[in-house]
Chain A
Amino acid sequence: GENVEQHPSTLSVQEGDSAVIKCTYSDSASNYFPWYKQELGKRPQLIIDIRSNVGEKKDQRIAVTLNKTAKHFSLHITETQPEDSAVYFCAAFQGFQKLVFGTGTRLLVSP
């Protein structure tokens, strides 16, 4: 089955810096890769996603890149703000059945 590894587990940046979170997946059949943001005690919220036929997708300060050959994808947040502080999860969709989540990255943006 699919296995998703996520790094780093924690990431501290200064406000205005960029943050990059990386994930690798094992199943070459995976074709959909969402990223979720989860604030303390709340539900995960989808912030951006990418499908396997696209190499990069941007939405304002957030971008995701996908390298199918290497089987890794990354989340890029530019001009970070304190409200970006949260836990971020990557995931890979295995065929038509289920999402497999990474273990999460705790992002702390200091003013």
Chain B
Amino acid sequence: DGGITQSPKYLFRKEGQNVTLSCEQNLNHDAMYWYRQDPGQGLRLIYYSQIVNDFQKGDIAEGYSVSREKKESFPLTVTSAQKNPTAFYLCATGVNQPQHFGDGTRLSIL
């Protein structure tokens, strides 16, 4: 969707490195979400935030961290504790329910 910008489109992580994926929205939605998608699989929820300065763990939060300092921004950090980070990461926003997705970031290990 045009109102959600994810960057970068492709990202490579070295072993032991933390990397941050950006998600910015101009839809004025309160709720923002991060999903992980593995090849041929469905979407699994990592973290979500209903309002600024508040966020909750999803089903697979281990090895990830987030912040929500502004309504428009919900960055995701993939830490070195996440041993298998290779996946397609999708950010979504919605009014209570996630309905709009960004174009995604494809993360790979170097």
Contact = CB atoms under 8 A, between A and B. Distances in A.
B99 A46 contact: yes
A99 B32 CA distance: 12
A89 B103 CA distance: 17
Nearest to B101: A43
A16 interface: no
Given A43-B102, A102-B42, A103-B42, A34 B90 contact: no
Given A44-B43, A102-B42, A103-B42, A97 B48 contact: yes
Interface string B63-88: 00000000000000000000000000
Nearest to A45: B101
A98 B33 contact: yes
Interface of A: 6, 32, 34, 42-46, 49, 89, 93, 96-104
